Amino acid sequence: MSSQKPKKVLILGASSGIGREVARLFIDMGCTVSVAARRETPLQELKAIDPSRVEYSLVDVVAENAAAGLQELAERTGGIDIYIHAAGIGSQNRVLDLPIEEKTVRTNAVGFMRAMNWAYHYFVSQGGGHIVVISSIAGTKGLGPAPAYSATKAFQANYVEALEQLARQQGHPIRFTDIRPGFVDTPLLGEKPSYPMLMRVDDVAKSIVKAVMREDDVKVIDWRYRIMVALWRLLPRWIWKRMRI
Ligand SMILES: NC(=O)c1ccc[n+]([C@@H]2O[C@H](COP(=O)([O-])OP(=O)(O)OC[C@H]3O[C@@H](n4cnc5c(N)ncnc54)[C@H](OP(=O)(O)O)[C@@H]3O)[C@@H](O)[C@H]2O)c1
């Protein structure tokens, strides 16, 4: 990694959890890092690490002006090489509360698509780049406890796959990396998460940075979840619908 030229990286969803840890690692690597989210204080803290190499902006991916915010931030550092989409929300919703489902779709599907649309056009006009999406293993199957979350994560994975094919068909040198972590100990899971095979956010961030630098197509984190999703895929629907997740 150290032999490569420091990259310019823009991360949306860098105020917390996975996005923040990934931002820290890229800052440590000497990259120019632009960070965005809705909360300012955690972004200011990242900028304070190295004000000369870190820029930030407040961007709400659900807002219609999100693309303009990302564009302005990218231009502030004289362009970017890598766009990382770590913005997202998720919660269990066994009672199928409609506002929760709608908010999840607005953020993880509509907002996500808006950011992808911006990043794709940005890298087309620049002549290349790298789009990284933190989707989830939750997109592998429909999950009863979190219908909108699992459906939007499947949407993200399919969307990235579609853009990858489109870029190739159109001859644009844009690379895509779909990161699919299992459970990670971040605020997304709540105060004291008690999930099986819970991973530390710093370990996950290191795996993500490695996958980004290697330009992996798809990276399931970690090996235990790779086995688990492979088994999930083998299960016929009549078994899946009886499973207690
Ligand atoms: N934790 C897990 O177990 C896990 C597993 C697999 C995949 N993931 C995925 O990883 C991504 C990051 O999640 P995390 O676990 O790091 O959660 P997190 O700590 O809650 O971080 C979520 C990030 O998304 C940002 N965000 C949320 N809504 C936004 C909006 N409307 N506009 C802009 N930014 C927004 C948040 O910033 P602001 O609130 O400041 O806007 C925050 O920076 C999510 O897509 C999640 O689905 C998480």
Q: What pLDDT does 35 receive?
A: 98
In a domain, 172, yes or no: yes
Number of domains in the chain: 1
What distance in angstroms lies between residue 88's CA and the mean position of ligand 1's atoms?
Answer: 4
Q: What pLDDT does 97 receive?
A: 98
Most ligand 1 atoms within 8 A of CB, residue of 103, 188, 194 to mutate:
188
Pocket of ligand 1, beta carbon within 6 A: 12-19, 37-39, 59-62, 86-90, 107, 111, 134, 136, 181, 183-184, 186-189
Whether the CA torsion 2, 31, 15, 78 is positive or negative: it is negative
Q: What pLDDT does 195 receive?
A: 86
Of all protein residues, whose CA lies closest to atom 28 belonging to ligand 1?
Answer: 88
In a domain, 77, yes or no: yes
- Check pLDDT > 60 for residue 144: yes
pLDDT band at 6 (very low <50, low <70, confident <90, very high): low
Q: Per-residue pLDDT tens for 186-223?
A: 999 988 778 889 999 999 999 999 999 999 999 999 99
Q: What pLDDT does 5 receive?
A: 64
Q: What pLDDT does 26 receive?
A: 98
Distance CA 58, CA 36 (A): 6
| Domain region containing 50 | 8-240
* 3-state helix vs strand vs coil in the chain, percent to 5: 50, 15, 35
- Check pLDDT > 70 for residue 114: yes
In a domain, 76, yes or no: yes
Domain containing 226 — which CATH number?
3.40.50.720
Q: Per-residue pLDDT tens for 51-74?
A: 999 999 999 999 999 999 999 999
Of all protein residues, whose CA lies closest to atom 47 belonging to ligand 1?
Answer: 88
Distance CA 154, CA 168 (A): 21
What distance in angstroms lies between residue 173's CA and the mean position of ligand 1's atoms?
Answer: 28
Distance CA 211, CA 126 (A): 23
Buried-exposed string 118-150: b where 16+ CB fall within 10 A, e elsewhere: bbbebbbeeeebbbbbbbbbbbbbebeebbbbb
- Check pLDDT > 90 for residue 102: yes
What distances in angstroms separate CA 32 from CA 4, 79, 112, 134, one per listed residue? 14, 10, 23, 20
In a domain, 143, yes or no: yes
In a domain, 1, yes or no: no
Distance CA 244, CA 38 (A): 35
The two tokens of residue 185 are 């100990």
User: 73-77, 107-111, 180-184, 193-197: which has the minimum mean pLDDT?
Assistant: 193-197
The two tokens of residue 120 are 């794709």
In a domain, 233, yes or no: yes
Residues sharing a CB contact under 8 Å with residue 243, sequence separation 6 or more, in sequence order: 235
**pTM confidence score:** 0.97
In a domain, 2, yes or no: no
Return the ∠ at Cα 114 (arms to 146 and 122), rounded to 5°. Answer: 135
Of all protein residues, whose CA lies closest to atom 19 belonging to ligand 1?
Answer: 17
Distance CA 177, CA 209 (A): 11
At 37 the three-state DSSP class reads strand
> Which among 94, 153, 106, 137 has a CA at the least distance from the CA of 232?
137
Percentage of the chain with pLDDT > 70?
98
Q: Per-residue pLDDT tens for 36-50?
A: 999 999 999 999 999
> Which among 117, 124, 96 has a CA at the least distance from the CA of 160?
117
In a domain, 3, yes or no: no
What distance in angstroms lies between residue 1's CA and the mean position of ligand 1's atoms?
Answer: 26
